[in-house]
């Protein structure tokens, strides 16, 4: 039988339980691979989210542009990265947001890991 | 018969692709990373592989959760990239080798690997960044490719041991191909990094250096790691190290000689690794 | 813990679905085939399984050659059929059991089966015809389902032994599920038939009867057959017998008692088989 | 190494070589799962085939409604069955066509297999 492991602090595991919870949100974010869809989203966020059947928690997290909330709502980081792209955020920006740091402080932390 | 001439592993972060697109290789931030590559490119220029089997992970471009394969192999005549949601520019298509693909598929399915086969397949930065680093997007392209995608998106991921064993079977399959070709296996991704959660930005230099050493000299030591161990030690995305293990498994039919090794922190959020192992028969 | 109560196998030809849709069960051509099912339905009414794991093959509805999985498992909340190109009518959706699906996926990937996971999935006649035969499309539906699709479209197909071993791991996975559920495994497809080529219409009564007997009493004897052997002996589409072997493998953790067996030629182009095995602990 | 097996008379194996040859044809036939596409095909066969890039052998086999030719051109029986559906042909009709029998004779052969 597959072993159940202790959670790792601050480290979401996108397993079946998350996948069940996040399907609609992830499907919407997957659609952002296509520029046409990104523009449709930007033109009318509410309608676009409704079309994919986002639940209220997911829709609020999208409105808040809040990565931790999006993950809690079942979002998978690889699909969420496409949403971050719409907002012009790279992985350091979203790292800073999730850790509650400024982007400069987050970058300094990364540099410090190398010395 | 085809000859497996060696294996290369390199990180594949999108920011590297952007740095290349913007000509930043000599920039102070980037120079230490890019400086690892000339010896690898010199080796490639000398050895001149005909085919590259590229082990990568799709980051949500070609595969969605409706059909998420554990192991997916390309069997297309060519492979194209796409903008991935970030407006990445289209690269020249990568020529495939469908006959070689089907040979590998026949052998791997016969060896009880339950592949998904892909006669059409978009390749993302996990594939294109290593190709750009190694062959510098010179057109016409110098190698034909067979992409092999490993699931790192949806847990459960295949275990380190399963991935290494896939590599072992892949190496045998390559060397049973009845054509006089030189083949290189490229493992991509890693080393430690984590994009999501309160621990985002986690990097583990010590663990990365151990992995870099063990994968060359004692790969068996890495095979009892679980995915959970990898995520804990190397971060959520550090689990991409299983792709390196496929590469290393492929080389297990030969001895290996280390030609190049490089480790640099940080590239974006990542501890970036580079390794070139030549087959010693 | 969940209990694997038994296994059923039945052919799944589209013509059966049409005969049901047109109410032809008592028609002279169809009666001998449909007359096999009442004992199976009586058993189901007595045992009342909560979940059915349905082993089938997709015939070109949900999967195309761009992403063709060897083994694909559903993890959706419900499954719908579609017209398949022939205007088949929409059936009531089949409720899934995503928690059970993910338990099975965790166990099977840990046992080195390289699944594709499908959180959205159209099911074709290979799935719906057995469901209609066994549960007669009564709504609300009496069982939740987990579809498990095996590649029979694109060679190489997984070997009979690999499929049986998948079943063995599936049986263990079912019985390690921590909920008090009764589970039945349904294998579908076969027996001998061939749709394509100059040998179209090939049926092999003798081989089918041997398979029906061996799969009950000595399944090991069938595991050295290759796919090529199956195609030769049972016709191109007779290779669907590998789906029966998954079912039989699942039951290998128990002894089995045969409750029902039926064989009839022809149903459309096919030697039609039906089998019900009850678990004996 | 995977064993190479002797061909079986009259029995196509859809392996990698066939898959390479038939991709465009099979992709077109797969599209016939959708009634909208079936109607588009019927409205203008030449344009529809051209859109999928069928080669001349494949296009001729489609025009001829000839199953053996379609298989020789790389067609897979599961996708071809969707094309047969457009023509109103069931598996007994296409069995008869491939074996050069009348449908009645083909059905009689199937009945005879049971006795
Ligand atoms: Fe990556
Ligand atoms: Fe079938």
Do C and B touch, 3+ Cβ pairs within 8 Å? The answer is yes
Tell me if B176 and D1 make a contact (CB, 8 A cut-off): yes
Q: What percent of chain D has pLDDT over 70?
A: 97
CA distances from B9 to A98, B4, B268, C33 (A): 30, 15, 18, 59
Q: What is the pLDDT of residue D77?
A: 98
The residue of chain C with its CA nearest to that of A15 is C102
> What distance in Å separates residue B72's CA from the closest CA in chain C?
8
Separation CA B88–CA B161 (nearest Å): 34
Structure tokens at C28: 């002279």
Q: What is the pLDDT of residue B63?
A: 98
Nearest to B61 by CA among A51, A29, C64: A29
Closest residue to B153, CB basis, from A2, A78, A114:
A78
Domain regions of chain B by residue span: 3-178+205-269
Domain regions of chain A by residue span: 16-88
Contacts of B77 in chain D (CB under 8 A): 20
Structure tokens at C155: 């060679």
For the segment C111-132, what is each residue's pLDDT rounded down to a tens digit? Answer: 999 999 999 999 999 999 999 9
Contacts of B72 in chain C (CB under 8 A): 67
The residue of chain A with its CA nearest to that of C100 is A16
What is the phi-psi region of residue A8: left when phi exceeds 0, alpha when psi lies from -120 to 50, beta otherwise? Answer: beta
Tell me if C119 and A17 make a contact (CB, 8 A cut-off): no
Contact B65, B154 (CB under 8 A): yes
Q: What is the pLDDT of residue A115?
A: 78
Please tell me whether residue D43 adopts helix, strand or coil conformation.
helix
Q: What is the mean pLDDT of residues C73-95?
A: 97
Tell me if A10 and B200 make a contact (CB, 8 A cut-off): yes
The residue of chain C with its CA nearest to that of D36 is C85
> What distance in Å separates residue D108's CA from the closest CA in chain B?
39
Strands B182-188 and B51-56: parallel
Tell me if B63 and C63 make a contact (CB, 8 A cut-off): no
Separation CA C247–CA C166 (nearest Å): 9
Say which of C193, C228, C254, C264 is annotated catalytic.
C193
- What mean pLDDT value characterizes chain C? 97
Tell me if A16 and C98 make a contact (CB, 8 A cut-off): yes
Separation CA C160–CA C168 (nearest Å): 12
Best interface-test mutation with C: which of B64, B65, B68, B164 has the largest number of C CBs within 10 A? B68
Helices (H) and strands (E) in chain D, counts: 8, 0
Residue C146 Cα to ligand 1 middle (Å)? 31
Q: How many CB atoms lie under 10 A from the CB of residue B114? A: 24
Q: Is the CB of C119 inside 8 Å of chain B's CB atoms?
A: yes
Complex ipTM value: 0.97
Please tell me whether residue D56 adopts helix, strand or coil conformation.
helix
The position carrying tokens 């029902």 is C260
Separation CA C226–CA C161 (nearest Å): 8
Q: What is the mean pLDDT of residues B181-188?
A: 98
Separation CA B104–CA A109 (nearest Å): 44
List residues bridging with B95 in a β-sheet: B78
The residue of chain B with its CA nearest to that of D15 is B102
| Helix %, strand %, coil % of chain A (to 5) | 65, 0, 35
> What distance in Å separates residue B237's CA from the closest CA in chain A?
10
Tell me if B226 and A91 make a contact (CB, 8 A cut-off): no
Best interface-test mutation with C: which of B69, B114, B170, B249 has the largest number of C CBs within 10 A? B114
> What distance in Å separates residue D112's CA from the closest CA in chain C?
9
Q: What is the pLDDT of residue C12?
A: 96
Contact B226, B155 (CB under 8 A): no
Structure tokens at B91: 């690269």
Q: What is the pLDDT of residue A93?
A: 94
Separation CA B238–CA C123 (nearest Å): 36
Please tell me whether residue D15 adopts helix, strand or coil conformation.
coil
Largest CA distance in chain B: 51
Q: What is the pLDDT of residue C77?
A: 98
Structure tokens at B219: 């790969």
Nearest to A85 by CA among A49, A41, A50: A41
Contact A22, A29 (CB under 8 A): no
Tell me if C65 and B121 make a contact (CB, 8 A cut-off): no
Helices (H) and strands (E) in chain A, counts: 8, 0
pTM here is 0.98
Q: Is the CB of C258 inside 8 Å of chain A's CB atoms?
A: no
> What distance in Å separates residue A98's CA from the closest CA in chain C?
28
Instruction: Return residues 35-94 of B near A (CB < 8 Å).
Output: 59-61, 64-65, 82-87
Residue A80 Cα to ligand 1 middle (Å)? 14
Q: Is the CB of C164 inside 8 Å of chain B's CB atoms?
A: no
Contacts of C105 in chain A (CB under 8 A): 16
Examine the residue annotation and report whether C228 is marked as an active-site residue of this protein. Answer: no
For the segment C230-265, what is each residue's pLDDT rounded down to a tens digit? Answer: 999 999 999 999 999 999 999 999 999 999 999 999
E-only strand ranges, chain B: 3-10, 51-56, 68-69, 71-74, 78-79, 94-95, 116-118, 144-150, 182-188, 255-267, 270-280
Q: What is the DSSP string of A14-49?
A: --HHHHHHHHHHHHHHHHTTSHHHHHHHHH-HHHHH
The residue of chain D with its CA nearest to that of B76 is D20
Separation CA C35–CA C29 (nearest Å): 11
Separation CA B278–CA B266 (nearest Å): 27
Q: What is the pLDDT of residue D107?
A: 95
Closest residue to B203, CB basis, from A5, A80, A113:
A113
Please, what is the Cα angle at B94 between B92 and B97, to 5 degrees? 155
Nearest to B147 by CA among B51, B24, B232: B51
Residue B56 Cα to ligand 1 middle (Å)? 8
Q: Which ligand is nearest to the CA of C15?
A: 2
Q: Which ligand is nearest to the CA of B268?
A: 1
* Chains touching D by CB (3 or more pairs below 8 Å): B, C
Tell me if C154 and D76 make a contact (CB, 8 A cut-off): yes
Structure tokens at C90: 């929409």
Residue C237 Cα to ligand 2 middle (Å)? 7
CA distances from B228 to B167, B186, B271, C264 (A): 21, 24, 19, 52
Q: What is the pLDDT of residue D1?
A: 57
Containing D99, the helix (H) or strand (E) segment is: helix D91-99
Q: What is the mean pLDDT of residues C9-22?
A: 94
Largest CA distance in chain A: 49
Separation CA B185–CA B180 (nearest Å): 16
> What distance in Å separates residue B250's CA from the closest CA in chain C?
18
Q: What is the pLDDT of residue B178?
A: 97
Q: What is the mean pLDDT of residues D29-55?
A: 98
Backbone angles phi, psi at B69, to 5 degrees: -85, 145
The position carrying tokens 């070709």 is B181
Separation CA C245–CA C6 (nearest Å): 14
CA distances from A71 to A15, A57, C275, D52 (A): 12, 11, 47, 40
CATH top-level class of B3-178+205-269: alpha beta
Do D and B touch, 3+ Cβ pairs within 8 Å? The answer is yes
Closest residue to B71, CB basis, from C68, C114, C154:
C114
Tell me if B119 and D17 make a contact (CB, 8 A cut-off): no
Closest residue to A1, CB basis, from C99, C105, C176:
C176
B139 CB burial (10 A radius; 0-12, 13-18, 19+): exposed
Separation CA B81–CA B147 (nearest Å): 12
pLDDT band with cut points at 50, 70 and 90 for residue D5? confident
E-only strand ranges, B91-170: 94-95, 116-118, 144-150
CA distances from B123 to A85, B96, B263 (A): 18, 12, 26
pLDDT per position in chain A (115 positions), as tens?
A: 567 789 999 999 999 999 999 999 999 999 999 999 999 999 999 999 999 999 999 999 999 999 999 999 999 999 999 999 999 999 999 999 999 999 999 999 999 998 7
Structure tokens at D63: 């025009």
Helix axes D16-31, D77-86, angle to 10 degrees: 30
Q: What percent of chain C has pLDDT over 90?
A: 99
pLDDT band with cut points at 50, 70 and 90 for residue D2? low
Tell me if C101 and A16 make a contact (CB, 8 A cut-off): yes
Separation CA A54–CA C267 (nearest Å): 46
Q: Is the CB of C107 inside 8 Å of chain A's CB atoms?
A: yes
Would you say residue D115 has pLDDT above 90? no
E-only strand ranges, chain C: 3-10, 51-56, 68-69, 71-74, 78-79, 94-95, 116-118, 144-150, 182-188, 255-267, 270-280
For the segment B123-140, what is each residue's pLDDT rounded down to a tens digit? Answer: 999 999 999 999 999 999
Instruction: Return residues 122-161 of C near B (CB < 8 Å).
Output: 154, 156-159
Q: What is the pLDDT of residue B256?
A: 97
Contacts of B230 (CB under 8 A, 6+ apart): B160, B238, B239, B241, B242
Tell me if B105 and D16 make a contact (CB, 8 A cut-off): yes
- Which of these CATH numbers, 1.10.700.10, 1.10.150.170, 1.10.3720.10, 3.20.20.150, describes D16-88? 1.10.700.10
Separation CA B99–CA B178 (nearest Å): 11
Q: What is the pLDDT of residue A2?
A: 64
The position carrying tokens 């990445």 is B88
The position carrying tokens 């030719």 is D69
Separation CA B39–CA B51 (nearest Å): 20
Would you say residue D22 has pLDDT above 70? yes
Helix axes D77-86, D91-99, angle to 10 degrees: 110
Contacts of A17 in chain C (CB under 8 A): 102
């Amino acid at each position: 039988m597959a072993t159940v492991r202790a959670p790792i602090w601050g480290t979401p595991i996108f397993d079946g339980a998350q996948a069940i919870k996040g399907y609609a949100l992830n499907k919407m974010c997957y659609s952002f691979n296509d520029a046409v869809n990104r523009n449709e989203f930007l033109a009318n966020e509410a309608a676009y989210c409704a079309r994919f059947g986002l639940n209220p928690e997911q829709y609020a997290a999208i409105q808040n542009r809040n990565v931790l909330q999006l993950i809690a709502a079942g979002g998978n980081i690889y699909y969420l990265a496409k949403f971050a792209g719409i907002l012009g955020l790279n992985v350091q920006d979203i790292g800073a947001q999730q850790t509650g740091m400024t982007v400069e402080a987050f970058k300094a932390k990364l540099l410090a890991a190398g010395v | 018969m085809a000859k497996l001439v060696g294996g290369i592993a390199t990180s594949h972060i999108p920011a590297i692709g952007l740095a290349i697109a913007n000509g930043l290789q000599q920039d102070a931030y980037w120079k230490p990373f890019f400086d690892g590559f000339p010896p690898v490119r010199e080796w490639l220029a000398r050895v001149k592989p005909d085919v590259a089997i590229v082990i990568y992970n799709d980051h949500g471009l070609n595969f969605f959760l409706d059909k998420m394969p554990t192991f997916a192999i390309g069997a297309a005549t060519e492979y194209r990239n796409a903008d991935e949601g970030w407006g990445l520019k289209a690269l020249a298509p990568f020529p495939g080798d469908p006959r070689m693909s089907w040979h590998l598929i026949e052998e791997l399915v016969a060896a009880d690997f339950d592949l998904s086969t892909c006669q059409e397949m978009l390749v993302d930065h996990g594939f294109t960044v290593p190709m750009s680093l190694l062959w510098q997007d010179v057109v016409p392209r110098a190698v034909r490719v067979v992409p092999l995608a490993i699931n790192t998106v949806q847990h459960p991921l295949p275990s380190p041991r399963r991935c290494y064993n896939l590599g072992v079977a892949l190496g045998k399959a390559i060397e049973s191909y009845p054509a006089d070709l030189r083949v290189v296996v490229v493992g991509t991704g890693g080393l430690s990094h984590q994009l999501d959660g309160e621990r985002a930005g986690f990097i583990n230099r010590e663990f990365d250096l151990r992995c870099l050493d063990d994968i060359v000299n004692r790969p068996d030591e890495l095979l009892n790691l679980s995915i959970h161990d990898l995520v804990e030690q190397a971060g959520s995305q550090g689990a991409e190290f299983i792709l390196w293990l496929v590469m290393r498994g492929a080389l297990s039919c030969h001895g290996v000689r280390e030609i190049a090794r490089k480790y640099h922190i940080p590239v974006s959020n990542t501890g970036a690794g580079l390794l070139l192992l030549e087959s010693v028969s």
